[in-house]
Amino acid sequence: MRVFDTHTDIWYDLSLKKEKGDNDVLRTYHLPRLKSGGVWGINAAVWTNPKIEDPMNRFIQMLGARSEQIELMNHKDFVFAQRSDQIDKAAEEGKIAVISSIEGLIGIGKNVDFIIALYDLGFRIMSLTWNELNNLAAGCGCDDNSKGLTDLGKQAIKIIEKLGVIFDVSHLSERSFWDAMKIVQKPVIATHSNAFSLCPVPRNLKDDQIKAIAQSGGLIGISALPQIVDRENPTIEKVVQHITYVASIVGVGHICLGFDFFDYLMKDDSLKNVVQKQSQMTKGLEDTTKVPALLDLLQKNGFAKEEIEKISWLNFMNFLKNNLN
């Protein structure tokens, strides 16, 4: 069965590896693992760590590394897609479709018009913030509950929607989320978020947020990130519980899979404060090669084949067809 992963930090990995002299990591490392997991499509994010000294400089470096990788690849194995028909073509040719996204726009500073340039570079999904407070919005790691969407953030959303880019609400603080939902005109997606009721951390979505996303016509991408699966004992079974819970609220038609695997970032010293130790990873769903086990477990837990197909790729594909310009 096909799987489309609606959130991966592969572009970040490529930029780090490039600095160490490896310019072929997408093909040599990620390709065989994606194929092993049955993952035929990924939403690859450019993510900027706000804790580093100069996030704007890192952002530019990542854009360059991504563009160089796209130029170097012979496209034998990947299709770098900007439209849903290109994803369909990738599937027909047995290639892996790559959609590009921006996970947090801290790298643009106050220059919201730069969103247009990012669109021209092929980015089709964008969020305003990671966990931090920036010029656009408060992220879920912001301790000041009085902070939400800024005027610049509102401008950014208008530009995003006008361009036909998909707006990602993952990582927004609760206030920023509701500020955004008041002004969005199109369906939104939480590319990698779980249910707050099962794991009460700020990164997860409360029931009314899940319902609001579904009412917009949007999707919730259930994640394997351990700290949002379960604070004490993250397991593949608990990922299934998140899927089951969200389905019980809004139905299977509003669920996709945004794993946010980070096994390939474990050895990078600059990310020690971000990624967790190997022993803390979600047991049974540690990396992309374990994805088939999740699909099997969904079936064992009573999900029909048609429902698993919707969750694993069809919901997201239909969402792209309906919302990408």
pTM of the predicted model as reported, rounded to 2 decimal places: 0.94
Question: Does position 187 have pLDDT exceeding 90, yes or no?
Answer: yes
Mean pLDDT of all residues in 129-157: 94
Report phi then psi at 84, rounded to 5.
-65, -30
| DSSP state for residue 93 in the 8-state scheme | T
CA–CA separation, 217 vs 128, rounded Å? 20
Convert the pLDDT of each residue in 15-33 to its tens digit: 888 888 887 888 888 999 9
Mean pLDDT of all residues in 182-189: 98
Span of 38-42, 73-77, 105-109, 198-202 with lowest mean pLDDT: 73-77
CATH number for 72: 3.20.20.140
Report phi then psi at 80, rounded to 5.
-85, 100
Structural domain boundaries enclosing 56: 3-323
The more confident residue out of 172 and 145 is 172
**Total number of domains in the chain:** 1
- The CA-to-CA distance between both ends of the chain, in Å, stands at 27
The pLDDT of residue 192 = 98
Percent of the chain scored above 90 by pLDDT? 77
8 A C-beta contact, residue 288 and residue 261 = yes
Span of 5-9, 49-53, 223-227, 283-287 with lowest mean pLDDT: 49-53
Spell out the residues 6+ positions from residue 67 whose beta carbon is closer than 8 angstroms to its own: 121
8 A C-beta contact, residue 119 and residue 159 = no
Mean pLDDT, the chain, whole residue set: 92
Beta bridge partners of 98: 42, 80
Report phi then psi at 216, rounded to 5.
-75, -10
Question: Does position 267 have pLDDT exceeding 80, yes or no?
Answer: no
Convert the pLDDT of each residue in 96-112 to its tens digit: 999 999 999 999 999 99
8 A C-beta contact, residue 191 and residue 7 = yes
Convert the pLDDT of each residue in 250-259 to its tens digit: 999 999 999 9
The pLDDT of residue 20 = 83
How does residue 310 score in pLDDT terms, banded at 50, 70 and 90? very high
CA–CA separation, 290 vs 136, rounded Å? 36
Span of 36-45, 52-61, 203-212 with lowest mean pLDDT: 52-61
How does residue 271 score in pLDDT terms, banded at 50, 70 and 90? low
8 A C-beta contact, residue 79 and residue 91 = no
The two most distant CA atoms of the chain are separated, in Å, by: 50
Convert the pLDDT of each residue in 65-87 to its tens digit: 888 888 876 678 999 999 999 99
CA–CA separation, 11 vs 286, rounded Å? 19
How does residue 52 score in pLDDT terms, banded at 50, 70 and 90? confident
